Each structure stands twice: as structure tokens, then as C-alpha cells.
Amino acid sequence: MASSPVVLILGAGSNVGQHVARAFAAKNYKVALVARKLKEEESTPDQLNIPGDLSNPNTVVDAFAKVKAVFGHPSVVVYNAAAVTANDAKNPLSLTLTDFARDLNVNTTSAFVAAQQAVTSFEKLSSSDSRTFIYTGNILNHGPLAAFPTLLDLGVGKSATAHIIQAASNAYKDQGFKFYYADERKADGSAAFAIDGEAHAKIFTQLAEGTTQGPWEQTFVKGVGYKNFAASNL
């Protein structure tokens, strides 16, 4: 009997993280979750809870090691963590280096490490496995939002990681590895803000089931799915 595939979700919060976990569990995946408040002793045979702070990139390396030891190599990796420290709208560069560096670790550096670790696992899997990496993004990779000028470090992180995802999607597609930056929008292309966990779960499972790399920037609308917004409404 073939073993169940494994999904690793880094940043397993109550909205997107938990909806995505349930969606993959329903498709017979073993689920590994990483979040600060998880209790490892509450793990089950089908779910591994890993407490971890993603402001420390070494947490990612340790998490992959635990997942591989318990379940095997993950064929789907979802990076869903995010951090922001609101800046002074009139003086955005007054943000402290400590806050900026910590949030950049969560939004980008740990995501980079996760993508690195994912490739190492994907190389050990067969061509029939999903081998998909998904990063939960937003519209900020297209520039600052005029209505929300206090999100500097979040925008920096999303922009940097979007670059990583685009580069990886091009570099690894011939090996069958898929990389996506998922960004929920409203129907008119503007930022969703109050994102929908169930909508994320639906498109994430669809992306994992795809056999070839699709558009790396997966802008999508709840109830519609992927939609290519040529000009974003910032």
C-alpha cells in the first residue's frame, strides 16, 4: 500500500492555515503544522504539530527534519506566515532595525529557507508526487497601497519573496517542481484584505494537483479561482 503524501504548512494560523490543513487531510495527506502556539504532545498519527517561531530561520530547518523523520519528505510545502510592524505613515524609515529585521525573517528569509528545503525534498520524490511550494502573498508586491501607508516592512517582504518565487518557478519547472505566489483579490482586482481561508484551501489543493507549472503569480477571486489581473488596482 502506497504511503500517504505529506503537506507541511509553516504558519498554521486559524484562518488560511487551518482551512488548508483540513483540505489536504481530506485528500489523504499526512499534515505537518508549524506555529508558535502548537503543542507537540497533541499530535496524532495523521497530524504532526511542531511549535516554532519563524522569525528564526533555523526553525524551518528543524521543522523539515522532524517532518522527514516522522512522515517522510513533504510533497507540498505551504508558507503561510506573515509579520508586520506598522510604521509612521509620514516617516516610514523610522521603523527600527530590530522590527524590520524580525519581520523580514518571517516574510522572506524563512520562506527562502523553506523553498530551499522543499527543493531538497522534492529531489527525493518521484515524478508522480506533487512537488509544489505555495507562498501566501498579497497585492503588496506591486507597490505600496495608498490607503495603507503603514505597511512598509510587510510590502518589502512580500515583494522580495515574490521575486524568489518567480525565479524558482522558472528555474525548476523542467524538473517538475512548482512554485506559486498566491494572492487573493476582489473581483475588480483590488486587494481582498479580509482573506478567505476556504478559498485559499480550494486553490492550494488545485495547484498541488496540477501536473505542470502554471502562472507563478496566482491571483485569484473567491468563487472564481485564478484570474489574471493585468493592471492591479492599488
What are the residue numbers of the active site? 158
Asked if residues 204 and 78 have their Cβ atoms less than 8 Å apart, the reply is yes
Take residue 87 and report the three cell numbers written for it: 510604521
- Within the chain, where are the H helices? 16-25, 58-70, 97-104, 110-122, 152-171, 197-209
- Write out the E strands in 88-193: 132-136, 178-185
**CB-neighbour burial class of residue 165 (10 A; exposed 0-12, middle 13-18, buried 19+):** buried
The DSSP code for 11 is S
Rounding to the nearest 10 degrees, give the CA dihedral for residues 87, 92, 96, 100. Answer: 80
